[in-house]
Structure 1
Amino acid sequence: MGEHRAKMSPFLVLVLVLHVFEFVKCEDAYRFFNWNVSYGDIYPLGVKQQGILINGQFPGPQIESVTNENLVINVFNSLNEPFLLSWNGIMQRRNSWQDGVFGTNCPIPPGRNFTYNLQVKDQIGSFFYFPSLAFHKAAGGYGGIKVASRSVIPVPFDPPAADYTILAGDWFKQNHTDLKAILDSGNDLPFPDGILINGRGSNAFTFNVEQGKTYRFRISNVGLTSSINFRIQGHKLTLVEVEGTHSLQNTYDSIDVHLGQSLSVLVTADQPPKGYYIVVSSRFTTPVLTTTSALHYSNSAGALDGAPPGGPTTQIDWSINQARSFRRNLTASGPRPNPQGSYHYGMINTTRTIRLVNSAPMIDGSQRYAVNGISFVTPDTPLKLADYFKISGVYNLGGIQDNPTDNPTGGASLQTAVMPADFRGFVEVVFENPEETVQSWHVDGHHFFVVGMNGGQWSAASRTGYNLRDTISRVTVQVYPKSWTAVYMPLDNVGMWNVRSENWARQYLGQQFYLRVYSPANSWRDEAPIPNNVLLCGKAVGRQP
């Protein structure tokens, strides 16, 4: 038989070519990364330790991207044990498959690789990645993430002369395996040994500036147990961004950054040319741990002089008043070309109130940590896979109550607890802290509006003091001792999402759970399909995606 080919008019060919061109032109850009994760010797506090390196670096390589770009990150595990990376603050719209915590992903086995496919959809700001499995976070393996605005979106400040990342946090001289063994034996961690800035101890880094120019510093608390305070000798800090939200540009002498949090400040080199201390110190600890770096003016040979400036002399009241002063810039555009104040969160009726109370119970003679009387037990099968394959007996849906009626600070039980939630709900979450230490909470996959925080016991009457107009929205929030913090959170992201303490010992010993945001539509519009490269483990081994 002869082959018949229909002829196509030149005009139709041109139209098809233009359509293909438009499709290619409009597709969001891709950035590709190849990372090798290995152990290596590090000396952050002058003592040899076993650290986790990414491409031989500690901290790991920085990710620089632009709103809506696709990040393809191929991670090869050269450790002798399973490994996972998670993305602190990167939303993963419709795609908890890429979240990188054990509730959603099987670990990468030794000698194997896994390719994460992330999109920084409708996002800007400062974040970081870190190893989420076991107690690997105490060995390094973390790095910064910058998400810049698209060129067509105005930013509410002039481009800085340079953009610096500060990854700071407390550190232990013991190897992460020894720290994990302490926790596994039923004990709490010792006091940290020091503070690191970008993986090193005091006076290890110099940040160069030129007289009269303004610089952006992105500061993340990547530590394990301690809040920190950041300050620069003789210079003011102008806050401009908090975890993806442009803030009012208030000026501070120093800023508290709690566990897991990230923010950006502008610093103008407007002082006499010489060297100035950059100081990071622990907050609410005895003793106070301090480390320094240097801000050096290029037109000066002057060295650092005098003593590093001290931090805040008052404690909780000072910090809580500063936190309340973090406000949203209502007129600035976010990742889209519409003002951040166009979403009137305070005019939306909440569909549910979730109260979460932290506690530190002893269970069977061992130190554990809990939420609403439940201390989380990690199963052998990721919850996301159990949900997808309908594997029973892996987790207890509804095992953690959203409004505890008994005393959750007393006894506690061990469970693999998951809280059910409806897609497109708009919930009020109240974090209640009856303990004497500052807590820090993170919710994967969601931003929330910090509408209130105060001392004492939360009640319905506390809502009269909420900020329903211009509060900051973020992904991690602190709760002060004997205090509460309330947030409004749109449940706009289907998936299985980790809600956790950012104190990594508390997280490891059970102060976390998973929020199952469910849509009955079972549509790719609401949630991405299971990845072709999904790793299977536990009861999911041998299943066909």
Structure 2
Amino acid sequence: MEMRQNRGLCLIFFFFIFLFVVSCVNAEDPYRFFTWNVTYGDIYPLGVKQQGILINGQFPGPKIDSVTNDNLIISVFNSLDEPFLLSWNGLQHRRNSWQDGVYGTNCPIPPGQNFTYVLQVKDQIGSFFYYPSLAFHKAAGGFGGITILSRPGIPVPFPPPAGDYTILAGDWFKKNHTDLKAILDGGNTLPAPDGILINGRGWNGYTFTVNQGSTYRFRISNVGLATSFNFRIQGHKMQLVEVEGSHTLQNTYSSLDVHLGQSYSVLVTADQPAQDYYIVVSSRFTDPVITSTAILHYSNSAGSVSGAPPGGPTTEIDWSLNQARSVRWNLTASGPRPNPQGSYHYGMINTTRTIRVANSAPVINGKQRYAVNSVSFIPADTPLKIADYFKISGVFNLGSIPDNPNGGGGYLQTSVMAADFRAFIEIVFENSENTVQSWHVDGYAFFVVGMDGGQWSSNSRLSYNLRDTVARSTVQVYPMSWTAIYVALDNVGMWNIRSEDWARQYLGQQFYLRVYSPANSWRDEYPIPKNALLCGRAAGRKTRPL
């Protein structure tokens, strides 16, 4: 009798253990699995045969649809004849710079091999994209959209749209990426782009179908190499709702400037007579202006597009600057969590450090280069994050780039700046050149507190927006102007800060910020993945298992 009772108690015990385990499994954030094969293939986006980079045979690549906190398992097979890496523009990789996909953190995937990225879109929503980060591969394709929807039950500050469209637009060259890279390697500058693509196609090559009276969300990303663009839809207004993971005040625009690496979401209502309309993307601050179009097709259309595509704004900087200042955070909207975005009072936190970043275009050893605070970045023989993990000396030196411009001549260096975990810092991007610059910070969303013409000084802080500026990961700096951002360094890792002008990035206009915590805790940073590729001076070493 006693044995039966003990057996019954054991069964009950194991039953509750089973329920506990099942509940833990069910409570885990969902997993989404992707298997991608990266190949070369013939493409004709501007009517000329080119060697494109395809993912599963697609150009652009497959779109990633996800929900806040999803785990993304992306197995990438490199079927090219050269090393390859993918990076994730705007994803923050919380505690996990190991998955950033740039050469400063990851060894490239060798030809004929694969690597599986393990990402979590932790506490993120919004519109982003991925792209190839090595060499000049971005000029051949290999990019695609990323959408992160809010979790069920998290309020979104607008009704569900009837459809959700991704627009990947950017300048394009008829030359193959290998030829463009050879031009840069020879110390020369790139020619002007030959055209603009919208979702991989040229003039009127892509159609978006809408139902009259319905509202649609368009996620617009500039995936180009060198050029800002203006986006507009003939006869329609656009209501801005999100910028790179931040809900915005829902201002209405007739056209929108989108700079290199940036992403915007707008709502468009099909409230015009039933016919087809031009979707227009045209280059900004270029002479001549390059234009491309797609079609907004009403499902009950009574006619095709007619007339000339609508013109965009002039080349004046003030118009674009004022529009940029009008993009504000929606303080009452929830972000990835139910608390309102305005609950984080970034303007009430004292900054502990100011870093001034000045771009320049020096000629070094007879070749055109680009620099940050006079330092033109050169890649090391071992990824910096891996060298840091294995404590391999001689790969990089902390402090190899100064916090402020010194006005000196350009020089080559593997530039890494040290920073403390949980510091709250100010970064000022200073542009003394006559072209628009675009800057991206991997691993972070930052607050764009100010931008203006002229030289930045401490008095410029008087004009900062310390209440409702938008949080984003990529920001423009206008000619002869400055842009200031606030960043909470709450993400340990080795993070790339770079120009989004891809020729400038390739020729040195980038550096790495090493955000360091002495705790060596999984709470602050995940350990090196057991599948990490090891190369350079780390080849043959062992990683500790997860």
TM class by smaller structure: over 0.9
1:141 has 2:148 as partner: no
Partner of 1:260: 261
1:278-299 Cα shifts (integer Å, max 9, x gaps): 0000000010000001111111
State the secondary structure of the residue aligned to 1:287.
coil
Which residues in structure 2 correspond to 1:420-499 (within 5 Å)? 420-499=418-497
State the secondary structure of the residue aligned to 2:319.
helix
Q: Tell me if structure 1 keeps the 8 A contact 2:400–2:413.
A: yes
Q: Runs of 4 or more off by more than 2 Å in structure 1?
A: 5-15
Deviation at 1:6, TM superposition (A): 7.5
Partner of 1:271: 272
Q: Tell me if structure 1 keeps the 8 A contact 2:285–2:315.
A: no
Which residues in structure 2 correspond to 1:226-305 (within 5 Å)? 226-305=227-306
Could you tell me how far apart the structure 1 residues matched to 2:462 and 2:477 are?
Answer: 19
Q: Tell me if structure 2 keeps the 8 A contact 1:396–1:415.
A: no
Which amino acid counterpart does residue 506 of structure 1 have in structure 2?
R
Could you tell me how far apart the structure 2 residues matched to 1:221 and 1:338 are?
Answer: 30
Partner of 1:394: 395
Partner of 1:512: 510
Which amino acid counterpart does residue 476 of structure 1 have in structure 2?
T
Could you tell me how far apart the structure 2 residues matched to 1:477 and 1:268 are?
Answer: 28
Deviation at 1:411, TM superposition (A): 0.8
Classify 1:421/1:6 alpha carbon distance in 2 versus 1 (closer, same or farther; 3 Å): farther
1:413 has 2:411 as partner: yes
What is the aligned counterpart of 2:530 among 523, 529, 532?
A: 532
1:92-151 Cα shifts (integer Å, max 9, x gaps): 000010000000000000000000000000000000000000000000000000000001
Deviation at 1:155, TM superposition (A): 0.5
1:270-316 Cα shifts (integer Å, max 9, x gaps): 11111110000000001000000111111123000011000002520
1:355-381 Cα shifts (integer Å, max 9, x gaps): 000000000110000000100001110
After superposing the two structures, state which structure 1 stretch, 39-48 or 307-316, moved more. Answer: 307-316
State the secondary structure of the residue aligned to 2:124.
coil
State the secondary structure of the residue aligned to 1:529.
coil
Could you tell me how far apart the structure 1 residues matched to 2:27 and 2:422 are?
Answer: 28
1:216-240 Cα shifts (integer Å, max 9, x gaps): 0000000000001000000001000
Partner of 1:66: 67
Partner of 1:16: 17
Which residues in structure 2 correspond to 1:123-138 (within 5 Å)? 123-138=124-139
Deviation at 1:10, TM superposition (A): 4.7
1:170-220 Cα shifts (integer Å, max 9, x gaps): 000000000000000001100000000000100001111111100000000
State the secondary structure of the residue aligned to 1:19.
helix
Deviation at 1:11, TM superposition (A): 4.2
What is the aligned counterpart of 2:520 among 488, 510, 522?
A: 522
Matched residues, number: 538
Could you tell me how far apart the structure 2 residues matched to 1:456 and 1:395 are?
Answer: 34
Q: Tell me if structure 1 keeps the 8 A contact 2:238–2:267.
A: yes
Classify 1:530/1:286 alpha carbon distance in 2 versus 1 (closer, same or farther; 3 Å): same
Could you tell me how far apart the structure 1 residues matched to 2:458 and 2:11 are?
Answer: 69
Could you tell me how far apart the structure 2 residues matched to 1:22 and 1:154 are?
Answer: 26
Could you tell me how far apart the structure 2 residues matched to 1:453 and 1:196 are?
Answer: 29
Could you tell me how far apart the structure 1 residues matched to 2:12 and 2:338 are?
Answer: 35
Which amino acid counterpart does residue 292 of structure 1 have in structure 2?
T
Which amino acid counterpart does residue 311 of structure 1 have in structure 2?
G
Partner of 2:327: 326
Partner of 2:197: 196
Deviation at 1:17, TM superposition (A): 2.5
1:32-67 Cα shifts (integer Å, max 9, x gaps): 000000000000000000000000000000000000
Which residues in structure 2 correspond to 1:160-171 (within 5 Å)? 160-171=161-172
Could you tell me how far apart the structure 2 residues matched to 1:105 and 1:10 are?
Answer: 49
1:243-266 Cα shifts (integer Å, max 9, x gaps): 000000000000000000001000
Partner of 1:43: 44
Could you tell me how far apart the structure 2 residues matched to 1:25 and 1:544 are?
Answer: 34
Deviation at 1:13, TM superposition (A): 3.1
Partner of 2:541: 543
Q: Tell me if structure 1 keeps the 8 A contact 2:85–2:108.
A: yes
Partner of 1:177: 178
Which amino acid counterpart does residue 122 of structure 2 have in structure 1?
K
Could you tell me how far apart the structure 2 residues matched to 1:97 and 1:6 are?
Answer: 49
Which amino acid counterpart does residue 462 of structure 1 have in structure 2?
S
Deviation at 1:21, TM superposition (A): 2.2
1:456-503 Cα shifts (integer Å, max 9, x gaps): 000000001100000000000000000000000000100000000000
Q: Tell me if structure 1 keeps the 8 A contact 2:284–2:315.
A: no
Q: Tell me if structure 1 keeps the 8 A contact 2:88–2:129.
A: yes
State the secondary structure of the residue aligned to 2:518.
coil
Could you tell me how far apart the structure 2 residues matched to 1:396 and 1:250 are?
Answer: 46
Q: Tell me if structure 1 keeps the 8 A contact 2:72–2:119.
A: yes
Classify 1:245/1:276 alpha carbon distance in 2 versus 1 (closer, same or farther; 3 Å): same
Q: Tell me if structure 2 keeps the 8 A contact 1:85–1:100.
A: yes
Could you tell me how far apart the structure 1 residues matched to 2:120 and 2:6 are?
Answer: 41
Could you tell me how far apart the structure 1 residues matched to 2:366 and 2:192 are?
Answer: 21
After superposing the two structures, state which structure 1 stretch, 16-25 or 297-306, moved more. Answer: 16-25
Could you tell me how far apart the structure 1 residues matched to 2:535 and 2:415 are?
Answer: 20
**Identity across the alignment (%):** 77
1:89 has 2:90 as partner: yes
Which residues in structure 2 correspond to 1:347-366 (within 5 Å)? 347-366=348-367
Could you tell me how far apart the structure 1 residues matched to 2:403 and 2:317 are?
Answer: 28
Which amino acid counterpart does residue 539 of structure 2 have in structure 1?
V
Could you tell me how far apart the structure 1 residues matched to 2:161 and 2:125 are?
Answer: 16
Partner of 1:33: 34
Could you tell me how far apart the structure 2 residues matched to 1:403 and 1:377 are?
Answer: 19
State the secondary structure of the residue aligned to 1:349.
coil
